[in-house]
Structure 1
Amino acid sequence: MTTEAVAAEGIPDKVPVEVPIEPARRGTRRLARIWADLVTLARPVQWTKNVLVIPLAAASGASWDAGALLRTGWAVIVFCLASSMVYVINDIADRDLDRAHPAKRMRPIASGRISASGARIYAGALALLLCMAAFAGPTMHLWPLAAYVALNLAYSRWLKHVPLVDICVVSAGFGLRVLQGYAATGGDFSGWFLVAVLTGCMVLIAGKRRHELTTAGTAHRPALRGYNVALLDQVLAVSAILAVLSFLLYLRHDAPIGDLHNLLPALAAPLALFGVFRYLQSVLVRRRGADPVRTLMRDRLLIADALLLGAAVLTALIVESSS
C-alpha cells in the first residue's frame, strides 16, 4: 500500500509503540523510594537537637581534651539513634491519628508506603544499632540515654495523650540531652542552666501545640482537647519569662566566667530577650511553629542573634580560662 493510500484510508503512517519499563528499572525505583521513606522515618533533620543541645554542657567549663570530645561525639551518635527509634515507634502508634492531619497523613506509615510490620522491623534494627553503639563506645554514664528511651516509650504509649504532661515530657527529653552532655564532659552541673533549657524547650513545644490547634484542630492529637489558645498563650509567656531569667541567673552565678559575671548578663539579656520575642512573633503573628527546628533554622535574624549570644558566652569562657 502506497503512502497516499495509507493517508486516504486514515491509517497513521507511524504507529507509536509503547515501550515497557524494564523490570530492573522499576525495582530500582521502588528500592530508592523505600530507602527515602526509611530516611524520612528516622527524621535526620531532628538530629540537630542532639548536635546543638548535648555539647551545651561545655558551657560548664569542662576540660575539652580528646577524651571529652570523643565521649561528647559518641553521646550525640547514640542519642541520634535513640531519637530516630523513638520517632519510628511514635509514627507506628500514631498512624491512624496522622491520617486526620493535612500534612502528617503523607508520612510513610500513615500513607501506607511503609507497613506497620515493616516499620517495627526497622525500629528493632535501630534498637539493635543503639545497643551496639552504647556498649562499643567510650566509657561514660548512659543513664540519661536510658531514661530518655524509657520516657519516650511511655510517651508513645499514653503520656502524649495527657494535656500539659505531653509538653513536660518532651521538654524533659531535652533536659536529659543536657545531662548526657554533662556525663560526657565531666563538667560541673548547673541547675539554672538545666532550668533554662527545660523552659526554653517548653516555649518551642507550646508554640508547636498552638500552631497545631489553630491549623489542624484536635482530631490528630487527642491531648489538644485539653488546651485552648488562651492557655497555650499563658504557657508561652510563663515559659519564656522563666527561660530568660534562669539563663541570666546561670550566667550570674554558675557560669565559669570569673569577673565577667556582672558584665556578661547585661550584654546577654537583650540578645536572649530578642530571641524569645522573635520566636513568639513567628508563632503568634506569622503563624509558624509547626516544626520548631525548621522555624529556628530558617529565620536569619534568630540565627544571627543566637550566634551573637553564643559568641559572647564563648568569649567570656575563653577569657576566663586563659586568665
Structure 2
Amino acid sequence: MTEAVPLTETHRPTEARPPEPALLGQRTRPHRPDAEAGTDSAPPPRSLPAGLLRTARPKQWVKNLLVIAAPAAAGQLFTVHALTELALVLALFTACAAAVYLVNDARDAEADRAHPTKRHRPVAAGQVPVPVAYAVGGALAVIAPATAAWLTAPAVAVLLTAYLVMQLAYCVSLKHVLVVDLVVVTTGFLMRAMVGGLALGIPLSRWFLITTGFGALFMVSAKRYSEAVQMAGTAGATRALLTEYTTGYLRFVWQLAAGVAVLGYCLWALGEGGVPHTSVLPWRQLSVVAFILAVLRYAVFADRGTAGEPEEVVLGDRALSLIGLAWLAMYGLAVANW
C-alpha cells in the first residue's frame, strides 16, 4: 500500500491566470524609445545644405539691413548705382556673418550638446559635421573680402576683413573678457551701418556714428541684462560672463547707452546744419518724438528682462513696430525734404 504523499507547494497545481493588462500591453506594443523620450528625442535628420543654412542664422540677416542706413540718411539710396552696390555689400556682409556663425558653432559643438536648446543646432546635433562647418566658414571668410576688394571700394574690403578678424577673435577669446564682449558686439552693428556709406563714398556724420553706436550698445546690453535676469538663481548661465556681470551694472550700461543715443539723435535732428528746409512740416524735428518713444518702448522690455534678439523685440511688439514705421516715415520725409 502506497503512502499518501502530502500536497506541497511544489506539487500544487497552478491556476491559470489571465495575463495582466500591463503585461499584455508590453507584449503587444513594441518598445519605442523615441516615444518615451518625448521632447528630448533627437530631431529628424535633415539635409546638409539645410543644416548649413540654419547654421548661417537667416533670422539674423535682418541686422545686415543696417548697410542702407548711411545712404538713406544722406538721401542717396534710390539710384541704380546705389541699389546695385548696396545689394552686393549686403550679400558680402551676410556671407561674413555666416562664416562667423559656422566657425562659432563648430568650436562650441561639444558645449552646445549639453545645452537644453543649443543642442538642436545643426552642428551640435550632428547634421553638419564639424570639419564641414569649419571648411565652409573658412571659405566664406576668404571669398567675401576678396570679392569686396575686386568689386567694391577698397575701404569695404578693409572693413569686412576687420569685422571677420574681430568676430573670430570674439569666438575664440574675447567673449570671455568683461566689457570687451559688449564692445565687440556693438562694433559689429556699427560696422554694418558704416559699410554702406564707405561703399558709396558718403561722409559719415559724427551724430550718425554716435546715435548708431550707442543705440546698438543699448540693445546689446539690454539683451545681456535680460539674460542675466532670466538666469538669476539657476545653476548656470547661457554665457559664462553672466556669472561675472551684475544686473545692476548691465542696467546702468543700457540706461547710459539709451540716454546718449537719444542725445545724439536730438543734436542731429534739432541742429539746423545750414541746410535749407522747404518741407511742409519740420519732419526732422518731429522724428525726435518717434525716436524717443521707440527707445522708451524698447526699455520696457529691457526693464522686464525680456529683451532678447533686437529684431524679435521690434517685430514681436505691434506698438513698437508701428512707432518704428512712423519714425521711418518722418525720417524719410526729412531726408527727402518734402
Same fold judged by TM-score > 0.5? yes
- Corresponding residue to 1:208 among 223, 246, 249: 223
User: Is residue 211–residue 288 contact of structure 1 (8 Å, CA) maintained in 2?
Assistant: yes
What SS does structure 2 have at the residue aligned with 1:109?
A: helix
Distance in 2 between residues matched to 1:148 and 1:239, nearest whole Å = 22
Distance of aligned partners of 1:186 and 1:258 in 2 relative to their CA distance in 1, 3 Å threshold: farther
Report the AA paired with residue 68 of structure 2. P
Shift of 1:79: 0.2
- Corresponding residue to 1:81 among 75, 88, 95: 95
Shift of 1:245: 1.0
Shift of 1:249: 1.5
Distance in 2 between residues matched to 1:156 and 1:256, nearest whole Å = 45
Match in the other structure for 2:246: 228
Distance in 1 between residues matched to 2:77 and 2:297, nearest whole Å = 34
Match in the other structure for 2:265: 247
Distance in 2 between residues matched to 1:63 and 1:229, nearest whole Å = 41
Match in the other structure for 1:179: 194
Tell me the percent identity.
30
What SS does structure 1 have at the residue aligned with 2:306?
A: coil
After TM superposition, the structure 1 stretch with the greater mean CA deviation from structure 2, 72-81 or 134-143, is: 134-143
Shift of 1:117: 1.6
Match in the other structure for 1:273: 292
Which of structures 1 and 2 has the bigger CA Rg? 2
Distance in 2 between residues matched to 1:76 and 1:45, nearest whole Å = 15
Report the AA paired with residue 300 of structure 2. Q
Distance in 1 between residues matched to 2:139 and 2:91, nearest whole Å = 15
Distance in 1 between residues matched to 2:166 and 2:201, nearest whole Å = 24
Structure 2 unaligned runs (5+)? 1-43
Match in the other structure for 2:120: 106
User: Is residue 226–residue 307 contact of structure 2 (8 Å, CA) maintained in 1?
Assistant: yes
- Corresponding residue to 2:69 among 43, 56, 63: 56
User: Is residue 67–residue 89 contact of structure 2 (8 Å, CA) maintained in 1?
Assistant: yes
Shift of 1:127: 2.7
Match status 1:146 vs 2:165? no
Distance in 1 between residues matched to 2:270 and 2:145, nearest whole Å = 40
What SS does structure 2 have at the residue aligned with 1:220?
A: coil
Q: CA RMSD in A?
A: 2.5
Match in the other structure for 2:303: 284
What SS does structure 1 have at the residue aligned with 2:125?
A: coil
After TM superposition, the structure 1 stretch with the greater mean CA deviation from structure 2, 272-281 or 110-119, is: 110-119
Distance in 2 between residues matched to 1:277 and 1:67, nearest whole Å = 37
- Corresponding residue to 1:92 among 73, 88, 106: 106
User: Is residue 75–residue 335 contact of structure 2 (8 Å, CA) maintained in 1?
Assistant: yes
Match in the other structure for 1:157: 172
Distance in 2 between residues matched to 1:99 and 1:265, nearest whole Å = 50
Distance in 1 between residues matched to 2:274 and 2:316, nearest whole Å = 32
Match in the other structure for 1:6: none
Report the AA paired with residue 56 of structure 1. A
Shift of 1:148: 0.8
Match status 1:309 vs 2:327? yes
Q: TM-score, normalised by structure 1?
A: 0.81
User: Is residue 152–residue 199 contact of structure 2 (8 Å, CA) maintained in 1?
Assistant: no
Q: Can you list the C-alpha shifts for 1:204-239, whole angstroms capped at 9, x where unaligned?
A: 111221222233465432222221111111111111
Q: TM-score, normalised by structure 2?
A: 0.77
Q: Can you list the C-alpha shifts for 1:256-314, whole angstroms capped at 9, x where unaligned?
A: 853389944541222112111211212323x4223222122222211211111111111
Distance in 2 between residues matched to 1:169 and 1:95, nearest whole Å = 22
Shift of 1:55: 0.5
Match status 1:68 vs 2:82? yes
Structure 1 unaligned runs (5+)? 1-28
Report the AA paired with residue 118 of structure 2. K
Distance in 2 between residues matched to 1:219 and 1:114, nearest whole Å = 25
Match in the other structure for 1:198: 213
Distance in 1 between residues matched to 2:310 and 2:195, nearest whole Å = 22
Report the AA paired with residue 209 of structure 2. L
Distance of aligned partners of 1:209 and 1:99 in 2 relative to their CA distance in 1, 3 Å threshold: farther
User: How many correspondences in the alignment?
Assistant: 289
Shift of 1:316: 1.5
After TM superposition, the structure 1 stretch with the greater mean CA deviation from structure 2, 252-261 or 129-138, is: 252-261
Q: Can you list the C-alpha shifts for 1:145-192, whole angstroms capped at 9, x where unaligned?
A: 121111111111111111211111111111111221111222221011
